[in-house]
Amino acid sequence: MEAVALHPPTAMLTALSDTKNLLADFIKRYGAQVDHLAIRLESAEGTDILLRGNKIETLSEGISIGGQVRVCHQGGWGFASFNQLSTLADRIEEAIAAARIVGCDETILAPVTPAQDICTLPLTGTDPRQVPLARKKELCQYYGEILRSIDPRIATVSVRYGDSAQKIILATSEGALIEQSWVDMEMRFAATARDGETVQTGRETIGSRKAYEDLEGLEEQVRNAAQRGVDSLSLPPVKGNTYTVVIDPILTGLFVHEAFGHLSEADMAYENPDLLEVMSLGRRFGPTDLQIFDGAAIAGHRGSYFYDDEGVPATTTQLITDGVLTGRLHSRETAGKLGETPTGNARCLNYHFPPIVRMTNTWIERGKTPVKDLFCDIQEGVYARNWLGGMTNGEMFTFTAGEAWMIRNGEIAEPVRDVTLSGNAFKTLADVEAIGDDFYWDESGGCGKGGQSGLAVGCGGPSLRIRDVVVGGEAIED
């Protein structure tokens, strides 16, 4: 059964650009009452399609119009969101009242030159808003048929399609007035194969901020996802042990984002003395050829933009230089309280949420070791590629590889399944033995933090060779 949800526009459907004078009036009226006032208006339109099995379970197009108010007074923050512009004055007054209730200290925000700008992330091909809903549905059904056709042991399949076009206007009491817009697209594929009690899943995710065409012509990736699930049914589980591991660029991107990137977000550190001590600038974390970056200033990736949601220009921040911690990611507040420079990493998922410190595009720079040489001299190890899932808890991580092989006598040997990689992020960085000369950008990321899940990010890196990685699987018998 197909469900179509069309969300009618509210009174705020008036073109956002026409509200700039109104925002200026509100800023003038209320800005002097507090230390900082920011008003962010947002319009978004998008499509969501979910195919499960051979049935379309979700088929929706929607329009979302709203806004948010953020106020800081004596170090206390007030926040309010709204859907009708006619209520803006009430929401501002509510946010001011809340900030005054909790504010009892000094407001410290790192200074930034207020910008007045209009900018759009450019598309290189077709805007998904120009593609009929029926065509998007047919694409999902087409990929679903491919997933189901691979093998009779495919028990369930799913295809998820989503696109979103967002436009925001940000006005602040310091004089910023920024209009920014972008389009984001994503497709997710999964095929679960079953043989008796053995169940294995193959997954693939594709994301883009460039063109609808990036979601077409994915037959090979879709087939490979289903085939991985089927092939894993007959593979032996890896023997749990500590191994030297070679990981591919996709797993490297996942590792640098999940295991290290979140620890670089300064809101996790500036109120946590223990973590701040661990993440002290100048501390060595890895080999001298290890370079780690994050930044939205590089064009063409899913975490790219011109300004963050506080109006700070996008930058590129080098987090690790020659193996030494040299930077971290900031909002204006965390930068101000730590006496550092804002990096343009304050982001919110949409107008329902306040901006918090988030990654953008995070990557490890390519190294100089030929990929084939990463395997040299490994008597017994594991080669892991792609990912099925993972979790982090502070500096500890566990990731599940999408596919894996044993390494024997310096060569890739038999494939294995159920490969999980676990460890401490800091120890793992220190145990990096070699950095490959390859590199790949993974645009499939949807990051979650603070209740804001699905924020588009990019991850990248080269293949890595890492010693003493705990690999979970079937227990070794004595």
CA distance 88 to 342: 29
Please say whether the structural domain 6-232 has been given the CATH code 3.30.1490.20: no
pLDDT at 373: 98
Beta-carbon contacts of residue 81 (< 8 Å; ≥ 6 apart): 66, 67, 68, 69, 91, 351, 352
Give the CA radius of gyration of the chain: 24
pLDDT at 156: 97
Single pTM value for the model? 0.93
Which of 98, 110, 53 lies closest to 342, judged by CA? 110
CA distance 259 to 393: 9
Half-sphere exposure in the Cβ direction for 305 (13 Å, CA) = 32
User: CB–CB of 121/199 below 8 Å?
Assistant: no
Each of the 478 residues of the chain gets a pLDDT tens digit; together they read 344 343 434 444 445 557 888 999 999 999 999 999 999 999 999 999 999 999 999 999 999 999 999 999 999 999 999 999 999 999 999 999 999 999 999 999 999 999 999 999 999 999 999 999 999 999 999 999 999 999 999 999 999 999 999 999 999 999 999 999 999 999 999 999 999 999 999 999 999 999 999 999 999 999 999 999 999 999 999 999 999 999 999 999 999 998 899 999 999 888 888 888 999 999 999 999 999 999 999 999 999 999 999 999 999 999 999 999 999 999 999 999 999 999 999 999 999 999 999 999 999 999 999 999 999 999 999 999 998 888 888 889 999 999 999 999 999 999 999 999 999 999 999 999 999 999 999 998 789 999 999 999 999 999 999 999 999 865 443 3
User: CB–CB of 253/461 below 8 Å?
Assistant: yes
User: CB–CB of 46/62 below 8 Å?
Assistant: yes
Tokens of 320: 């690790």
- How does DSSP classify residue 131? S
Provide the sign of the torsion angle of the four alpha carbons 40, 269, 312, 129, taken in this order: negative
- Indicate the domain borders of the chain: 6-232, 241-472
User: CB–CB of 229/422 below 8 Å?
Assistant: no
CA distance 92 to 82: 10
Rounded to 10°, the helix 20-30/88-102 angle is: 40
Which of 413, 422, 431, 420 lies closest to 467, judged by CA? 431
**Cβ-count burial 61-75 (b if 16+ within 10 Å, e if not):** beebbbbbbbbbbeb
Which of 461, 394, 392, 380 lies closest to 421, judged by CA? 392
CA distance 324 to 276: 15
3-state secondary structure of 265: strand
User: CB–CB of 402/388 below 8 Å?
Assistant: yes
Provide the sign of the torsion angle of the four alpha carbons 301, 305, 310, 314, taken in this order: positive
pLDDT at 17: 56
Q: Which residue has the tokens 């994915």?
A: 218
